[in-house]
Chain A
Amino acid sequence: EVQLVASGGGVAQPGGSLRLSCAASGFSLKTYPMNWVRQAPGKGLEWVSNIRTTKEGGMAYTDSVKGRFTISRDDAGNSIYLQMNSLRAEDTAVYYCATDLNWAFDRWGQGTLLTVSS
């Protein structure tokens, strides 16, 4: 079955760190740019970060997470990651990973919930 499975969410304290993972099965992530998109409770979707293919190189972040979040990929492990540091209450959200095809988010994982609270 072709799917993306996001994991690693949970409860973190303000100022704390957490790493999200997104594993692909049934297809290879290697040829896809990948993204993280989040949805805070009761809010809309928000693009968080993009990583190009290893061949193209490069990452991008929304302004509110620059300097705090780092996206990475492991093509051999068919996974991507989001290292989140200096967490804030406003980072509380369901985080989705998604493939990038034709400049749209083609395939989505089921989401993993991060709650930042003391």
Chain B
Amino acid sequence: QSVLTQPRSVSGSPGQSVSISCTGTTSDVVNYNYVSWYQHHPGKAPKLIIYEVTQRPSGVPDRFSGSRSGNTASLTISGLQVDDEADYFCCSYAGAHSWVFGGGSKLTVL
């Protein structure tokens, strides 16, 4: 059982937008501005795509955006591309140099 709750799967067509939610608690998502998102293609290393709730690392397209409302963080991917098909994990700092992850959401680009 993961600490942060994500939908198991999401889908969209090329060019569309999808959002993935990540629900936490006051122990993590609510009280820390350190929510991050990772794109994971099976067999490869995960890739950081959002940090500090809304920030994009250099090289990550602006099609990827992050937000938060209350205890729920969200990742939005606009202009879906076939290469976006992957697993997406949210993560939050939880204090005392510890982190918690969501269970992951499988994005299918139809």
A interface, CB within 8 angstroms of B: 33, 35, 37, 43-47, 50, 52, 58, 60, 62, 96, 98, 101-111
Contacts and interface: CB of A to CB of B under 8 A. Distances in A.
A98 B57 CA distance: 15
A104 B104 contact: no
Given A96-B45, A102-B34, A103-B93, 5 more contacts: A35-B99, A60-B97, A103-B51, A105-B38, A106-B51
Given A103-B52, A104-B36, A104-B91, A96 B46 contact: yes
A44 B98 contact: no
Interface string B83-110: 0000001010100111111111000000
Given A104-B48, A104-B51, A50 B97 contact: yes
Interface of B: 2, 32, 34, 36, 38, 40, 44-48, 51-52, 55, 57, 89, 91, 93, 96-104
Given A50-B98, A58-B97, A45 B91 contact: yes
A106 B57 contact: yes
Nearest to B55: A102
B46 A44 contact: no
Nearest to A96: B45
A100 to B, nearest CB: 9
A102 B91 CA distance: 13
B97 A44 contact: no
A108 to B, nearest CB: 4
Contacts of A50: 97-99
B34 A44 contact: no
A103 to B, nearest CB: 4
Contact of A102 (B44, B47, B51, B99): B51
